[in-house]
């Protein structure tokens, strides 16, 4: 599968040699994905409505993530003048389109025109890009800034320009403000500078990179310091083994590694592994060093505890370029075909939901029924004239979104110790609250609450024992 495309670093490939065709590819992909979003029949997922809610409460940090995704969604919805799901998700397709062009520019610099176009095409069809283009996530917001940092890192090695060095720091900092996984860029940079003498930017430029990065992330660092390191603590909770000890679960590690063939595509993942095993020629060693840290770290995390499939996304920005320069033309076509199957299927599926069904349940069930439940709760609250209280993060997240234009007070149940969610941290039931509230729980109602009928239990909540009832605030506090 190997090609010699990366054995020599060509002179700077003129933009006109590849950019016009790349722009066409991006325009087509983004337009089709936005068209699918316009007819999307799924509900915003719990994380998506949480990010939207962050955008309604602008800050330099939040409970579980840095702030950039909230800012991006707020910007998009304000410009559109609408908080509809389309506008919440719309930035995803656009940001991945920009990322494809930036990685194409990196490939053009490293391996020429053909590599640039193939990089753009393959990136646009990657499974994680297809998903991130129709459902907004922190990975998607991180992507263009991470790609830009990579591009300017390689530019700086050639130009020795202070401006390029500052750009590296700024873009790496912005990637970090989207998701802390951008720290892998710093690890990769350090490895490259230690081992690849031709890519060392010089002490002055290294200093400029560090200063620019520090300035960009400073607001979030200061926010964390003033909020008891909330986001850092949540990150440690995700690691699991840091607090509770290691499990050494080989099955968990194998499951994570297999999932990466679904995240990055089977052929492209195979090419990446081959490139890791034979990292010689041109810029391959540098691309490997930018790619490996995230995959290796999360694989170890999966061994020690558990890891979600998307935790190693930082692997695949330089990894896409690396896969392209490793594959021959035939295998590039094969990769494109495999990836297109999912890339085309997913936008179609979101427009057909709740069809298709598997075993009598919708394939996209976890993205359905959330808004319907919220509407039923809000209707009951309006009829009873009472606030709503819940300790269920999924329920609260969608209530705040669906009820954004409803005059119903919404609160999280009070908790002892460190808050378990952004809602428990910022929207807990006031200490001076009295009288009755409607409480939404999973399982039995507390305090001999008066049960109410009318909850819409469908989609993601099918089979869940959700209940709602009237309860006295004083009793609710005593039992919680």
| β-sheet bridge partners, residue 361 | 358
- Residues 224 and 334 reside in one and the same domain: yes
* 65 occurs within a structural domain: yes
Within this chain, do residues 348 and 475 fall inside the same structural domain, yes or no?
A: no
Nearest residue to 65 via CA among 223, 285, 196, 284 = 223
* Residue 80 is assigned to a structural domain of this protein: yes
Residue 475 has pLDDT above 90, yes or no: no
Say whether both 155 and 57 belong to one domain. Answer: yes
Asked if residue 9 has pLDDT above 60, the reply is no
Which pLDDT score is estimated for 7? Answer: 38
pLDDT tens digits, residue range 307-329?
A: 999 999 999 999 999 999 999 99
Is residue 310 a contact partner of residue 178, using CB atoms and an 8 Å limit?
no
Question: 426 and 336 share a domain?
Answer: no
CA-wise closest residue to 175 among 226, 220, 119: 220
Q: What is the pLDDT of residues 337-384, one digit of tens each?
A: 999 998 999 999 999 999 999 999 999 999 999 999 999 999 999 999
List all residues 6 or more positions away from 62 whose beta carbon is below 8 Å from its beta carbon: 54, 70, 231, 422
pLDDT tens for residues 333-346? Answer: 999 999 999 899 99
Boundaries of domain holding 51:
15-234+316-352
Residue 189's nearest CA partner among 277, 314, 9 is 314
Q: Which of 352, 377, 404 is the last residue of a domain?
A: 352
Q: How far apart are CA 69 and CA 404, in angstroms?
A: 19
- 42 and 362 in contact (C-beta within 8 Å)? no
Residues 51 and 96 in one domain: yes
Tell me the backbone φ, ψ of residue 204, rounded to 5 degrees: -60, -50
More confident residue, 281 or 293: 293
**Parallel/antiparallel/unpaired status of strands 361-362 and 357-358:** antiparallel
Structure tokens at 464: 């869940």
Structural domain includes residue 249: no
325 and 373 co-located in one domain:
no
Cβ neighbors of 296 (< 8 A, separation 6 or more) are: none
Match 């490259």 to its residue by tokens.
192
> Domains in the chain: how many in total?
2
pLDDT in the model for residue 479: 77
Split at pLDDT 50, 70, 90, the class of 8 is very low
Per-residue pLDDT, averaged over 117-146, amounts to 98
pLDDT at 118 over 90: yes
- Measured distance CA(259)–CA(393) in Å, rounded: 27
Are 387 and 410 in contact by the 8 Å Cβ rule? The answer is yes
Report whether pLDDT(282) > 90: no
- Is the domain of 346 the same as that of 387? no
94 and 174, same domain (yes or no): yes
DSSP string, 437-475: EEEEEESSPSTT-EEE------GGGTT--EEEEEEEHHH
DSSP secondary structure code for residue 421 in this structure: S
How far, in Å, CA of 47 to CA of 61, rounded? 16
Q: What is the pTM of this model?
A: 0.95
* Three-class secondary structure of residue 452 per DSSP: strand
Return the pLDDT at 155. 95
Confidence band, pLDDT 50/70/90 cuts, at residue 10: very low
- What is the percent of the chain where pLDDT is above 70? 95
Q: Does 210 reside within a domain? A: yes
- Residue 289 in any domain: the answer is no
Does 309 reside within a domain? no
Answer with the one of 352, 379, 400 that is the final residue of a domain: 352
Q: What's CA 44's distance to the chain center, in Å?
A: 14
Beta-sheet pairing, 410-412 with 388-390: parallel
* Amino acid 3: pLDDT: 41
Q: Check pLDDT > 80 for residue 468.
A: yes
Banded pLDDT at 238 (limits 50, 70, 90): low
83 with 25, same domain: the answer is: yes
Count other C-beta atoms under 10 Å from residue 355's C-beta. 11
Q: Which two tokens stand for residue 307?
A: 């890891």
Residue 259 lies in a domain: no
Give the range among 10-14, 206-210, 265-269 with minimum mean pLDDT: 10-14
Residues 347 and 470 in one domain: no
- Is residue 44 domain-resident? yes
Q: Is the dihedral of CA 340, 94, 182, 288 positive or negative?
A: positive
Average pLDDT of the chain is: 94
Distance CA 101, CA 117 (A): 9
pLDDT tier, 228 (very low <50, low <70, confident <90, very high otherwise): confident
Is there a single domain that holds both residue 465 and residue 440?
yes
The answer to whether residues 72 and 186 belong to one domain is yes
């Amino acid at each position: 599968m190997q090609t010699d495309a990366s054995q020599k670093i060509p002179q700077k490939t003129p933009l006109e040699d590849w950019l016009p065709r790349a722009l066409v590819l991006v325009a087509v992909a983004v337009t089709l994905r936005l068209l699918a979003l316009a007819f999307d029949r799924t509900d915003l997922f719990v994380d998506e409505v949480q990010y939207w809610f962050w955008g309604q409460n602008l800050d330099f940090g939040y409970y579980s993530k840095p702030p950039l995704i909230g800012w991006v969604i707020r910007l998009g919805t304000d410009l559109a003048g609408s908080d509809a799901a389309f506008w919440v998700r719309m930035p995803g397709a656009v940001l991945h389109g920009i990322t494809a062009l930036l990685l194409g520019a990196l490939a053009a610099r490293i391996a020429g025109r053909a590599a640039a176009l193939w990089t753009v095409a393959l990136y646009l069809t990657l499974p994680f890009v297809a998903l991130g283009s129709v459902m907004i996530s922190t990975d998607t917001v991180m992507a263009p800034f991470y790609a830009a940092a990579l591009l300017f890192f390689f530019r700086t090695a050639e130009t020795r320009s202070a401006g390029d060095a500052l750009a590296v720091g700024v873009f790496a900092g912005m990637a970090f403000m989207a998701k802390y996984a951008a720290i892998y860029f710093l690890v990769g940079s350090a490895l490259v500078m230690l081992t690849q003498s031709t890519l060392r930017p010089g002490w002055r430029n290294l200093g400029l990179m560090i200063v620019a990065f520090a300035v960009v992330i400073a607001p979030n660092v200061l926010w964390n310091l003033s909020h008891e390191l909330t986001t850092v603590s949540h990150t440690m909770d995700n690691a699991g083994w840091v607090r509770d000890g290691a499990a050494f679960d080989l099955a968990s590690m194998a499951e994570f590694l297999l999932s990466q063939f679904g995240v990055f595509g089977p052929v492209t993942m195979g090419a990446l592994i081959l490139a890791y095993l034979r990292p010689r020629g041109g810029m391959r060693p540098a691309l490997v060093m930018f790619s490996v840290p995230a995959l290796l770290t999360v694989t170890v995390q999966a061994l020690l505890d558990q890891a979600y499939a998307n935790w190693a996304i930082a692997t695949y920005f330089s990894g896409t370029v690396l896969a392209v320069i490793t594959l021959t033309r035939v295998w590039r076509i094969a990769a494109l075909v495999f990836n297109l199957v999912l890339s085309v299927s997913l936008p179609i599926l979101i427009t057909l939901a709740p069809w298709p069904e598997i075993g009598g349940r919708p394939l996209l069930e976890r993205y359905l029924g959330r808004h319907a439940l919220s509407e039923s709760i809000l209707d009951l609250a309006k009829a009873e004239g009472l606030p709503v209280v819940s300790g269920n993060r999924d329920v609260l997240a969608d209530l705040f979104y669906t009820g954004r234009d409803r005059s119903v007070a919404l609160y999280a149940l009070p908790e002892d110790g460190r808050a378990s969610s952004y809602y428990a941290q910022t929207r807990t039931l006031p200490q001076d609250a009295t009288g009755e509230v409607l409480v939404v729980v999973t399982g039995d109602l507390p305090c001999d609450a008066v049960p109410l009928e009318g909850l819409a239990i469908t989609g993601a909540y099918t089979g869940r024992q959700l209940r709602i009832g009237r309860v006295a605030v004083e009793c609710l506090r005593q039992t919680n």
